[in-house]
Structure 1
């Protein structure tokens, strides 16, 4: 248990692109952190920020910079302040790992403004574990409800969410064809059927300045991914990331290539030597 006299602190604020409904703006988080530090008579050294990122630590430069900063003895940081615990870690397990493996060995407390706990006290640590348990229970209930909703939607032969392949876009919950990309899909299939390799097709598309769905260059793998996507025939399998249901759907995605073209491409795939 951290037992220190808190003098210097840092703040951490984050909004995530995958959960905008739950987000509190960076400006508001900063304001509340500053106000809390001032009310306690603590010196707020810095506020580290991650904006528009998911919960993955690998994608959070502000989080990583903060950890490096607080570990330096010269900075004499006594605590990290957040508006809410899930801004730094959604998982109680990951939060406890941070506190027990990083903060406590360095004599640093963790403080949440809205949840009103401070790990420099026994009461604060106990409260953290209690609310964390309830939060994870609530999250599991929400996940189950969301999962059930996606499953019901998929069974009704409707778009149930998730990323859509190159050639499509989602508009108001409906899948629509991107005409310019659909032409590229047809061309990829035809080039492949005519004997071109993944590498040759990728090189051709890059030379013509045609980007992938993410705006990057084509690679043999991205070309192969297109050729392996049965969705272009108008038939697809809903296989949610968590559910793995394998629900067969027809017509949810408009057809871009004929079944005949698909079968020809699959025949060539079986022959091998397509790189």
Structure 2
């Protein structure tokens, strides 16, 4: 995601998750959360906010700094990562030097995608 609107949408996720973006202390791991739901029902029920809050709590429990949140709503896990905007951006950033994060946290492996297709 390279537009200001896309960055703003991701930044808007922080309040929905009861979280704030953090700057890592020296030696602290920098974590990003990746969240995905594929259906409209999941978006309304146990979706991004529910799973995101659990991921944010896990990151805090580990003592990591939450630096960013990526979320693809309404995208099937059977799609290649390049077909999902936020995971595509996450992967672009993962290839950067220096790396902007150390750890990607997900609620469950299905968020990344179905085996053999995601990456």
Q: TM-score range by the shorter chain?
A: 0.5 to 0.7
Q: Which residue of 1 aligns with 2:58?
A: 36
Is 1:65 aligned to 2:101, yes or no? no
Map 1:57-206 onto structure 2 (within 5 A): 57=80, 58-91=82-115, 93-94=116-117, 98=119
In terms of fraction of residues, the more helix-rich structure is 1
Structure 1 gaps, min length 5: 99-275
Q: Distance in 1 between matches of 2:28 and 2:105?
A: 11
Q: CA deviation at 1:62?
A: 0.7
TM-score, length of structure 1 as denominator length: 0.29
SS of aligned partner of 1:24: coil
Q: Which structure's relative contact order is higher, taking Cα pairs within 8 Å and 6+ residues apart?
A: 2
Shift of 1:43: 0.7
Answer yes or no: is the 8 Å Cα contact 1:11–1:33 preserved in 2.
Answer: yes
* Contact 2:28–2:63 (8 Å) recurs in 1: no
Max Rg structure: 1
- Aligned pair in 2 of structure 1 residues 66, 52: CA closer, same or farther (>3 Å)? same
Contact 1:8 1:78 in 2 (8 A): yes
Q: Rate the CA distance shift 1:53–1:76 in 2: closer, same or farther, 3 A.
A: closer
Shift of 1:17: 2.4
**How many correspondences in the alignment?**
89
Please state whether the residue corresponding to 1:73 is helix, strand or coil.
coil
How do residues 17-56 of structure 1 correspond to structure 2 at under 5 angstroms?
17=39, 20=42, 24-55=46-77, 56=79
- Pick from 20, 34, 49 the counterpart of residue 12 of structure 1: 34
Query: Is contact 1:12-1:63 (8 Å) kept?
Result: yes
Whole-Å Cα distance in 1 between the matches of residues 32 and 101 of structure 2?
7
Q: 1:6 to 1:82 in 2, by over 3 A?
A: farther
Aligned match of 2:19: none
Contact 1:14-1:50 at 8 Å conserved across structures: yes
Q: How far is the alpha carbon of 1:76 from its aligned partner?
A: 4.0
Give, in angstroms, the shift of residue 90 of structure 1: 1.5
**1:6–1:78 contact (8 Å) kept in structure 2:** no
